Amino acid sequence: MNKYLQKVRFILFTKSYAGYILSNHTKKLHHPKAMINTLSKVLLFNKKDLDIFVFNKIKTNKANKIIILELTSDEKIASYLQIEKELINLMKERDDKENLVNDDYHHALLEPAIERVAGNNLSHIESDRWFDKRLTELKKKYHRWYYDIAYKYKLPTMRIVPFLLRLISPSKHNK
- Mean of the pLDDT values across residues 70-98? 84
Q: What is the DSSP string of 90-156?
A: HHHH-S-GGGS-HHHHHHHHHHHHHHHHHHHTTTT---HHHHHHHHHHHHHHHHHHHHHHHHHTT--
What is the structure's pLDDT at 17? 94
Question: How deeply is 110 buried, as exposed, middle or buried, from its count of CB atoms within 10 A (0-12, 13-18, 19+)?
Answer: buried
pLDDT digit string (tens) for 61-83?
Answer: 666 677 777 777 789 999 999 99
Instruction: Using alpha carbons, select from 16, 21, 50 the residue that is nearest to residue 36.
Output: 50
CA distance 159 to 71: 24
Banded model confidence at residue 41, pLDDT cuts 50, 70, 90: very high
CA 72 distance to own-chain centroid:
15
- Mean of the pLDDT values across residues 156-173? 81
What is the structure's pLDDT at 138? 94
pLDDT digit string (tens) for 116-142?
Answer: 999 888 878 778 888 889 899 999 999
CA distance 169 to 13: 20
Residue 59: partners with Cβ closer than 8 Å, 6 or more residues away: none
Banded model confidence at residue 47, pLDDT cuts 50, 70, 90: very high
DSSP classification of residue 157 = -
CB 35 within 8 Å of CB 29: yes
CA distance 36 to 33: 5
- Mean of the pLDDT values across residues 29-45? 90
What is the structure's pLDDT at 130? 87
pLDDT digit string (tens) for 3-35?
Answer: 888 989 999 999 999 999 999 888 888 888 888
CA distance 124 to 29: 46
Q: Is residue 96 predicted with pLDDT exceeding 60? A: no
Q: Is residue 174 predicted with pLDDT exceeding 50? A: no
